[in-house]
Amino acid sequence: MANKIKVDLGLDSYKISMIDSFVSSILHVASSTKSQCMLISQDNIYKLYKEKFDQLSKLSNISIHLIDDGEQAKSFETITQITNKMASEHFDRSSIVLAVGGGVVGDIAGFAASVYMRGIDYVQYPTTLLAMVDSSIGGKTGINLKSGKNLVGRIYQPKAVEIDINFLLTLPDRQINAALAEAIKYGFIYDRELFDFIASSIDNIIENKSIKILEKIIIQCCEIKSDVVSEDVNENELRMILNFGHTVGHAIEGYFDYRTLLHGEAIFYGMKCALYLSNKYGNLSNNEYNKSLYLLSKFDLPSVSIEDYDKFMTYIKSDKKIRASNVKFILLDEIGKSQINDNISFEQIIESLKVL
């Protein structure tokens, strides 16, 4: 497996690289411009890597900006703070934004970079397994509204994604377990071999958090997402399959005000609902359905209960995949093969919640 993967988007192409040191990479990127650079991160990451951040802050053209933790940080207020700071520090079109964090940091940093002076460069340094396998790749940026997640944003590609797997050494077990939802998703929708590899390794992954195994999974996921994004950059059709489990998953996150569950945990539940619908109203066989549920059963998840269906459905109905009041729902025909289905009703989605 190569340690560099190309996301082939013509003039917007970039590489995903496995690196040994995010500090060395940032020093190299910052030295490539005489303009100001902003490193965007969060306080918990700063505290874990204070010595490394202090080393970077000594560079005359790097300023560090820390945003709040959690989905609440993905707001217009945060974007305003960042862009005002850029303006006051005389950022220009040769400035670079450095996103050191998980999905929230990547979404905020990418969106800020996309709108400041109509677009400046940014580089992703994902610090979580979830960001390494999914959110740092593909250029999706955005912020949340009260009525739903990521309803304001742009597809704006980074100049590079630099993955320092050493970040995983300080990542809590719960974060790693939750992130495996996105990795399993790739197996479900696109790659039976990846599903089988994760299934055969799952006890070792959960109990030992083998970096070697996780690195293999990361590279395979990056290759899959690169293939999908390269074919459908604007999510017109094929890229929608990456949302398997996300229609219900995002609604569950919103229902609990983004506080009860980690994103990956919500996606686990969303995939359970999607598997149920794939089996009952689609082509997924009982054998494949049971095999899928067995793998998901390996993960301990916080218990949830949806009691207010009207509230829950407000999040479903604000989903970005709604077209003319119909949901474009991702179903499995079999493990490794997915389809976009527009015949799943709101009533059937509510019915699927009984598997939670």
Residues belonging to the active site:
118, 140, 182, 225, 235, 239, 243, 246, 250, 263
Tokens describing residue 94: 């040769």
| Beta carbons within 10 angstroms of residue 102's beta carbon | 26
List Cβ neighbours of 39 (8 Å cut-off, separation of 6 or more).
26, 53, 56, 62, 63, 64, 65, 98, 100
CA–CA dist 122, 124 (Å, integer): 7
Q: Which helix (H) or strand (E) holds 62?
A: strand 62-67
Tokens describing residue 286: 């009982």
Amino acid residing at 18: M
| Beta carbons within 10 angstroms of residue 152's beta carbon | 15
Cα distances from 239 to residues 189, 223, 226, in angstroms, run 11, 14, 10
| Beta carbons within 10 angstroms of residue 23's beta carbon | 18
The answer to whether residues 220 and 161 touch, using CB atoms and an 8 Å cutoff, is no
- Concatenate the DSSP letters of all residues of 253-296 into one string: HHHTTTTSS-HHHHHHHHHHHHHHHHHHHSS--HHHHHHHHHHH
